[in-house]
Amino acid sequence: MLLIDPGITGDEMAALANDLRELGQPVVAGFSTHPHWDHVLWHADFGDAPRYGTARCAASIQDLLSNADWKARIAEGLPPEYAEEIPMDLLGLITGLPAEATQIPWDGPKVRIIEHQAHAPGHAALLIEESRVLVAGDMLSDILMPFLDLEAANPIEDYLAALRLFDRLADDVDAVIPGHGSVGGTGQLQARIKQDRAYVQALRDGGVPDDSRVGPSAPLEWLPEVHQWQLQRLAQRELNETLE
Ligand SMILES: [Zn+2]
């Protein structure tokens, strides 16, 4: 079994490990789609299978772990209601794959790595070719609008470039699995690309996104605020660039 971004709380990961044991499906490899805390966690019960990420993803998380106070830095961003239940001991212990790697090094079904720079450095979507499933990490969600990597030099361009990479997969994908939200079936890859592109283009062009995920009836009530924050950060960046 290949485990991708396995979970957040200790209990849910232990339950998953238990299910896999009962199914007789040992974990033979792990993969983190990108270097955000909720995608680089692990549980001892999964065993010590190799855990991978892209070279950039691994470099980014190693950079964080090299700070003596890394646990405190991560703790600042944790949802308070779960903070006590999130095990940090094995956080981020991943091996970077060579930059030219195009698939996961394991004996299971072929899994293609689609690396891009949207949302986080070294973010990778995984395409399980024979089952025509795209595991999208923090992209293509039905409930979350695009979160840009606001530390990057060109966050908007990076996001649009990633969506263009996904465009090319339209004939290869029947189901898309986002890191947050629900699985999308037939036609959902294209629909979600379109929705995310419209949102990012609205940010770029200074328009108001016509996007129910951040509108008055948003499924997550805190999301419109994050959208506003994202707008302000982008405006601030532009201002700083003008002043430089
Ligand atoms: Zn993320």
> Is the distance from CB of 98 to CB of 55 less than 8 angstroms?
yes
Cα 142 to middle of ligand 1, angstroms: 15
Q: Which helix (H) or strand (E) holds 204?
A: helix 188-205
Query: Which among 200, 120, 136 is positioned nearest to 173, based on CA atoms?
Result: 136
The secondary structure of 9-76 as a DSSP string is SHHHHHHHHHHHHHTT----EEE-SSSSGGGS---GGG-S--EEE-HHHHHHHHHHHTSTTHHHHHHH
Paired tokens of 30: 């792990």
> Is the distance from CB of 165 to CB of 137 less than 8 angstroms?
no
Q: What pLDDT digit, counting tens, does each position of 35-62 carry?
A: 999 999 999 999 999 999 999 999 999 9
Compute the distance between CA of residue 49 and CA of residue 244 in angstroms, rounded to an integer: 48
Cα 24 to middle of ligand 1, angstroms: 31
169 DSSP assignment: T
Cα 99 to middle of ligand 1, angstroms: 20
Compute the distance between CA of residue 154 and CA of residue 151 in angstroms, rounded to an integer: 9
Cα 34 to middle of ligand 1, angstroms: 7
Q: Which residue has the tokens 């361009």?
A: 157
Cα 58 to middle of ligand 1, angstroms: 14
Predicted local distance difference test score (pLDDT) of residue 214: 94
The identity of residue 231, as a single letter, is L
Cα 36 to middle of ligand 1, angstroms: 5
Phi, psi values for residue 95, rounded to 5°: -100, 130
For the chain, percent of residues with pLDDT exceeding 90: 89
Cα 130 to middle of ligand 1, angstroms: 26
Reduced to 3 states (helix: H, G, I; strand: E, B; else coil), residue 2 is strand
pLDDT tens, residue order, the chain (244 aa): 999 999 999 999 999 999 999 999 999 999 999 999 999 999 999 999 999 999 999 999 999 999 999 999 999 989 888 889 999 999 999 999 999 999 999 999 999 999 999 999 999 999 999 999 999 999 999 999 999 999 999 999 999 999 999 999 999 999 999 999 999 999 999 999 999 999 999 999 988 889 999 998 898 999 999 999 999 999 998 888 888 7
Predicted local distance difference test score (pLDDT) of residue 135: 98
Query: Which among 31, 33, 15 is positioned nearest to 23, based on CA atoms?
Result: 15
Within 8 A by CB and 6+ apart from 221, the residues are: none
Phi, psi values for residue 32, rounded to 5°: -105, 125
Compute the distance between CA of residue 56 and CA of residue 47 in angstroms, rounded to an integer: 25
Query: Which among 225, 227, 181 is positioned nearest to 207, based on CA atoms?
Result: 227
Cα 119 to middle of ligand 1, angstroms: 6
Compute the distance between CA of residue 32 and CA of residue 95 in angstroms, rounded to an integer: 10
Cα 22 to middle of ligand 1, angstroms: 30
pTM: 0.95
Compute the distance between CA of residue 173 and CA of residue 37 in angstroms, rounded to an integer: 28
Residues with CB under 5 A from ligand 1 (ion): 36, 138
Predicted local distance difference test score (pLDDT) of residue 216: 87
Within 8 A by CB and 6+ apart from 197, the residues are: 160, 163
